[in-house]
Amino acid sequence: MRNNWLEENIQSVEDKFVNAELGSLDVIRQYGVIIVDATNKALRKQQNSSVHPLEIT
């Protein structure tokens, strides 16, 4: 079951968080999704980026 959580659609997890079906800890712990507090949106993977997503420029 846990592997299925990690394969869940990110948009679906984001929607469940916005609708208060999931808490912030459940989102990261169960689904591996990071929600940005300021926007309540899921942090998306950056592909083909030369800058690390957590690197401050």
Residue-wise pLDDT tens digits, 29-57 = 999 899 998 999 998 876 555 555 565 55
pLDDT attached to residue 44: 80
Residue at token pair 């690197």: 55
Give whole-number Cα distances, 31 to 15, 36, 50, 51, 57, in Å. 13, 15, 26, 25, 29
CB 19 within 8 A of CB 1: no
Asked whether the whole model's pTM tops 0.85, one would answer no
- Whether 14 has a pLDDT exceeding 90, the answer reads yes
